[in-house]
Amino acid sequence: MTRIRKQPQRMCVGCREMKNKRELVRIVRSPQGEIELDTTGKKPGRGAYICPEPECIKQAIKGKRLQKALEQDIPAGVMEKIREQIDQNKPGQ
């Protein structure tokens, strides 16, 4: 009998829906305070998960949900860089 492994669930900070961890993109605040996209999902630091959809990204920024989740203000330049990286690295492409 094969055991079905349970998929880890995370909440998107944009749409606030629970989804499989692999469907979401992780943004991490490193111990040094740098904010970046975590493509491996293994970087150390405080992480926040977001759907790779423009609407979710917009909601997360507009409602300052991403800043709250990472417990730090995010400079506009860093946010724009993350948005571009998400567009390039969408899972399932």
Q: Write the pLDDT tens digit of every residue in 22-78.
A: 999 999 999 999 999 998 889 999 999 999 998 998 899 889 999 999 999 988 888
Does residue 85 register a pLDDT over 70? yes
The rounded Cα 5 to chain-centroid distance in angstroms is 23
CB–CB of 13/63 below 8 Å?
Answer: no
The whole-model pTM stands at: 0.84
CATH architecture of 9-88: 2-Layer Sandwich (3.30)
State how far the Cα of 87 lies from the Cα of 72, in Å rounded to an integer: 23
Does residue 4 register a pLDDT over 50? yes
Would you kindly state where each structural domain of the chain is located, as residue ranges? Answer: 9-88
Return the structure tokens found at 32: 């040094």
State how far the Cα of 36 lies from the Cα of 34, in Å rounded to an integer: 7
Give me the helices (H) in the chain, please.
54-62, 65-70, 76-88
